[in-house]
Structure 1
C-alpha cells in the first residue's frame, strides 16, 4: 500500500487486530504514534502516570479478556510501566506495551540522549513474556500481528514492542496484515482418554478451576453439572463456577476449609491454574494429580503431576466431559460440597474485615467487579468473598503490587458496563492517587473504598511477631475526603460502626454519578 510512517503503521495494524482503545501518556518520543491516533477509530485514555496506564490496561484486559494496549516513551516511561508489566506477567494478563527507543544509530551507546536507558529491551525482557525490536517501517505490521498471534496461542502474558524514534517518523510502503485469530493448542486425545480412565477409577475426585478457565465458564459448568464433581476455584478463577453452585466447595485455595477438603481426595483434576506456591505451597495433593494447562512448564513445578495435558481449558474440559458421559461417570459432589462448605463471610463473625466484605457483597450486583489491592481487607476477600461471574475478582497476586487497584478499576470500568469497585488501603491508594484525575476526566462512576488505618499495618503485625517491635510503618496521611474533592471526585467518610447502615447507600449513589467517589472507612483491623 502507499507509504505510512512507522507510527501510522502501528496504529493501522492495531485497528486490523480489532483494538479500539489504548492507554498511555504522550511524550516527545511517541508523538508520531499520537498523531496517527487522531486519524484512527482507536480511543485513547490519558493517565497521569505510566504505571497507572499499565494497571488500567491490565484491568481492562482482566475484565474483558481482550488485549490491553499501552503506549509509553523511552527510558523513564518504560521503567514506570515495568511494574505493571511485571504484575500482568505474574497474573497471566494479556498486555501489549508499545514503547519507543532512541534512534537506530544512537540507542544503547551512552551518549546522553534524552530518555536514554542502558539495554532498554533487556529491562522489558525481564518482566514480559516476549520483547520485539523493530528496525524497519515495513516490518511494523508483521511484528504487531505476530505479537497478537503469540497472545492468542500462548499463556496470556504481556508482550513488548520497541520501535526507534526514527522508524516511527520515517515513511515507507507497508503491507498491512489481515490475520485470522489463532487458537491455543487443542487437547491431546490420548491423554484425555487416560484422564477419563483415571477419573473412572477415582472414588473421591475434585476439580480445581483456575484463572485459565475464565473464558471457559460454560465448559466448567457443563462438566460439573453432568459429572457432579465437587469443585474448588482458585482466587483467580472465582466465578467460573458460582459460589452458590451446589458442587462448589470453596472459591480459593490456601485456607483451612479448602486444604481439609483436598486432603480427603484420591484424585485432583486441576485446570487452568499454575498451582502457585503462594496459594498451594502447603497443600497436600493426592498422588493422582491431573493437570490441564496451556503452559506445560506448570506441570510438576510445585506439585508432582501424574498426568499433564497441554491444552486450552474449554476444549479440553469439553472433550473430557464427552468421555465421561460415554462412560456414565457421575460423582456425589453436591452432598460432599454441602458437608464441607461454609459461608465464607461467616467464617469469623467477629472479624471486622468479614463484616465489611459482607456488607459490600450484599450491596453489589452478583457480577460486579471488585478490584483489590495488597491490603488486609483484600487478603480476607481472596478466600472469603464469593462471586457469581468470571472476571469479577481482580487481585494482584504473585508480584503483589501496591497501588494496583484504583487504576485497574478505572480500566475495568472503561472495558465494560458492570459495576466496578476499587478496594484499597491508605498506603496503596497513595501509590497511584494521581490517576483519580483520570477517572474524573473520563466520567468513571467507580467507588474507591479506602480502608484507612494510618499505617502499613500488615508489616507492623509481622514485625511484632518476629521482632517484638516495629519500624517505619507509621505514616502521616492527608485528609482523604478533601484530597479526593480537590480532584473533582465525590467523597465521604463512613465510620466503621456505621458501615452496615451507610455503605450500601453510598455505593448506590456512587454508581449514579458521572465521576468517581472516594469512600474512606477508618479501620483498626
Structure 2
C-alpha cells in the first residue's frame, strides 16, 4: 500500500520571495587570490535535515550528491553523521537496504533530483518487497518551478513524487523549511511501522539552502505504531492449532523483520509443528532443529507435506510465487495467516487473516495455545527431507552441491551473506544453512540484478566486527563494479565471490528449455581479478577444489577482496511438477 502525506500548504508570495532570496553571504578570496566568491554562513534547510536525522537516532547515511542536493551534503560537514558515498544511486539504495535489515533501523539515503532520484528506484523496489526500512531523501527543483511555474530546470520531472508512489510506503513532500523536521519524522515513523519499508521525502533546492532561525532540532518523537492482533482472531487461531492433528508452519521474512524468531521456536515446540522457512525468511527457524523442514519450497514433496496439514500457520509471508512453488500449492486444511501488510492477507489463499506484527501475534498465540503432543512429527520431517535429498541426488548435481558446501564451510558462523540473482543463490535459497537469524539476504523480493555486493557493503558499515560475504554471477557483478572503489575507500570487510559462467546463466537455462536456443545471454566480460587489483582490492582466481581455502583466506584477511570462480553451474530440475 502507498499512502501520500503531501503537505499541500502553498507559501504566500512573501514566503516564496524570502525562500528564494540568497542567504547571508560573506565574501572571501579564492585560494589563488582571484576574484572574490561568496560562501553561505548560518544554518539552513540542509541543517534541519541532518539535525532531524540525528535527533531520530540515525548515525550513518548513504548516498550520492547532486546539484540540487548540495545543501544537505554541505550540512553533513557540520554534523556527527557518518556519510558513506557510493558510486551509483541504485547501489547506495542497496547498501541502505542492507543496513536497515541488519540494524532494524531506518537507513537514510540522500540523493539528488531527477536522474539521481530515479536511479534509486530499483533498490527501493527491493526494499519494499523485503520490508527493509529505508528513509530516502531527495532534492527537488526550486519551488518556483513546481506546480506549473517556470520550467526548463536541470533534472526537472513533471511530478517526481509520482514516480515513487507505486514503490514506497509513503511519500512526503516539503515546501518550506519549517516542514522539514515533521516531514522527516513522519517518514521515519512510516518506515519503521510494521510492515517496515522504504519511504520517500523530497525537498526543493531553495528550501534546503534557505537560512532558518528555527532552533536546533534535538530529540524527535517518531515512535512507530504497534500493529496489535485482534484478540478474538488469535483466540480462534489458538483453538485451531491446539486441536490440529497435522499442524505445520510457514515462516516468512516478516518473522525476521519483527525479531520474532525466538517466539516462533517456542510456539513450534509447544505445538510440535514442523516449520519451513521461505527464501525471504531464511534463519527464521533453526536449520537443523528436529522440526525444521528447512527451505525446500521449490520441491513437490514439500508442497505435498504442506498441503496435507489440517491447520497451516503462515507467519510473515504472502505466499507469493516462490513461496507457493509457483502457485501450485493448494492447501486442503485451514490456513491461519499472520501478516503485517494488509494487502497480502488472503491475497493468494482463503485464510483466517490476522493483520498484525508477527512478534505480537506469536506472543498472543504462545499465551493461549495448549501444549500438543505428537511424537511422529520429527519422523515425518526426516522422511520428507530424505525424499528431497534423494530427488536432488538423482540429478547428478555434485558440482553445485560441493560449491555451496564449500561456501558454507568457509563462511564463519554468524557472518552475514548477501546473494545476487544468480544460480548459486537459487541453490542457496533452498539448500543453504544460514546458521543464525538475519544472516542470509538476497534480492529475491523484487529480483533485480546487482544487489549482492553493494548490499554487503552496507552490512559491513552496519557491523564492522564480522566479515561479510557477497555472491554474484558475472552478469550481476557488472552492475556493481564501480563499488570496488567504495569498498577500498572505506576499507570495508567484504569478500566478493563472483561465479563467472560467461553470461546470464539462469536466463541461458530458461531460454534453452523454452526455445531450444539462447539470445542475448552471452557476455564479454573483464578479467575480474585484474580489475579488482586495479582498484587496490586483492583478487584471486579459484577452482571448485580450492574454493573453500581461497574463500576462507579472503574472509579472514581484513578489508575488501574478490574471489573469482570460473564455473558453469546448473539448477536442479523444476520441482513444481509431480
Q: Report the counterpart of residue 298 of structure 1 in structure 2.
A: 344
Secondary structure of residue in 1 paired with 2:125: helix
Aligned counterpart for 1:387 among listed residues 434, 450, 464? 434
CA spacing shift, 1:108–1:407, aligned 2, 3 Å: farther
Provide the C-alpha distance between the structure 2 equivalents of 1:344 and 1:17, rounded to a whole number of angstroms: 48
Does residue 270 in structure 1 map to residue 314 in structure 2?
yes
Q: What is the aligned counterpart of 2:503 among 455, 478, 482?
A: 455
Measure the CA separation in 2 of the matches of 1:257 and 1:438.
Answer: 44
Structure 1 contact 75–120 (Cα < 8 Å) conserved: yes
Q: Which runs of 5+ in 1 are unaligned?
A: none
**Equivalence for 2:574:** none
Decide whether aligned partners of structure 1 residues 447 and 141 sit closer, same or farther in structure 2, where only a CA change above 3 A counts: same
The residue number in structure 1 matching 2:329 is: 283
Shift of 1:345: 8.0
Secondary structure of 1:341's aligned partner: helix
Deviations 1:347-393 (A, max 9, x none): 43634222111111122222221211111111111111112212111
Give the alignment partner of residue 45 of structure 1, picking from 84, 93, 100.
Answer: 84
* Whole-angstrom distance in 2 between the partners of 1:12 and 1:182: 20
Structure 2 unaligned residues grouped into runs of 5+? 1-41, 570-578
Deviations 1:479-520 (A, max 9, x none): 111011001111010123x2xxx2232223223333211111
Q: Is the 8 A contact 1:232 1:249 kept in 2?
A: yes
Residue 31 of structure 1 corresponds to which residue in structure 2?
A: 70
Structure-1 separation of matches of 2:386 and 2:457:
33
Render the CA deviation track for 1:315-369: whole Å, top value 9, x for unaligned: 2111101111xx3334443333233224988843634222111111122222221
Cα distance change of structure 1 residues 415 and 344 upon mapping to structure 2, 3 Å threshold:
farther
Give CA-to-partner distance per residue, 1:388-430, whole Å, 9 cap, x none: 2121111111421111111001111111133311110000000
More deviation in 198-207 or 219-228? 219-228
Counterpart secondary structure, 1:433 = coil
Residue 242 (1) aligns with residue 290 (2): no
Number of the residue aligned with 2:220 = 178
Distance 1:380 1:506 in 2: 21
Specify which of 101, 105, 125 is matched with residue 66 of structure 1. Answer: 105
The structure having more radius of gyration, on CA atoms, is 2
Equivalent in the alignment of 2:232: 190
Q: Contact 1:373/1:428 (CA < 8 Å) preserved in 2?
A: yes
State the alpha-carbon separation in 2 of the partners of residues 74 and 344 from structure 1: 50
- Deviation (angstroms), 1:252: 4.7
- Cα distance change of structure 1 residues 467 and 149 upon mapping to structure 2, 3 Å threshold: same
* 1:31-64 Cα shifts (integer Å, max 9, x gaps): 2111211122210001111111001111111222
Q: Which residue of 1 aligns with 2:134?
A: 95
Written as runs of structure 1 = structure 2, the 5 A alignment for 1:271-420 is 271-280=315-324, 281-305=327-351, 307-324=352-369, 327-332=370-375, 333-342=377-386, 347-348=392-393, 350-416=397-463, 417-420=465-468
1:81 equivalenced with 2:120 (yes/no):
yes
Q: In the alignment, is the contact (CA less than 8 A) between 1:64 and 1:391 conserved in 2? A: no
Please tell me whether residue 489 in structure 1 is matched to residue 537 in structure 2: yes
Quote the offset at 1:469 in angstroms: 2.0
SS of corresponding position for 1:29: helix
**Kept in 2: contact 1:368–1:418 (CA 8 A):** yes
The answer to whether the 8 A contact 1:57-1:411 is kept is yes
> 2:299 maps to which residue?
255
Kindly tell me: are residues 54 and 390 of structure 1, through their superposed partners in 2, closer, same or farther at Cα, counting changes over 3 Å? same
Tell me, in whole angstroms, the C-alpha distance in 2 between the residues paired with 1:125 and 1:464: 37
Residue 21 of structure 1 corresponds to which residue in structure 2? 60
Q: In structure 1, how many angstroms separate the alpha carbons of the residues matched to 2:543 and 2:298?
A: 31
Give the CA deviation at 1:181: 2.3
Rounded Cα–Cα distance in structure 2 between residues aligned with 1:71 and 1:483? 29
Asked whether the equivalents of residues 301 and 387 of structure 2 are also in contact (C-alpha less than 8 Å), the reply is no
Partner of 2:550: 506
May I ask how many residue pairs the two structures share in their alignment?
A: 516
Give 1:141 deviation, angstroms.
Answer: 0.7
Q: Normalising to structure 2: TM-score of the pair? A: 0.86
SS of the counterpart of 1:258?
helix
**Cα RMSD (Å):** 1.9
Question: 1:55 & 1:130 partners in 2: Cα distance?
Answer: 19
Q: Is the 1:254–1:283 Cα contact (8 Å) retained in structure 2?
A: no
Counterpart CA distance in 1 for 2:251 and 2:237 is: 16
Alpha-carbon distance between aligned partners in 2 of 1:66 and 1:396, rounded to the nearest angstrom = 19
CA distance in 1, matches of 2:278, 2:113: 37
Most deviating of 355-364 and 176-185: 176-185
Once the two structures are TM-superposed, the CA of residue 74 in structure 1 deviates from its matched residue by 0.3
Normalising to structure 1: TM-score of the pair? 0.94
Cα distance per residue 1:148-186 (max 9 Å; x no partner): 211232311110000000111112343645315224211
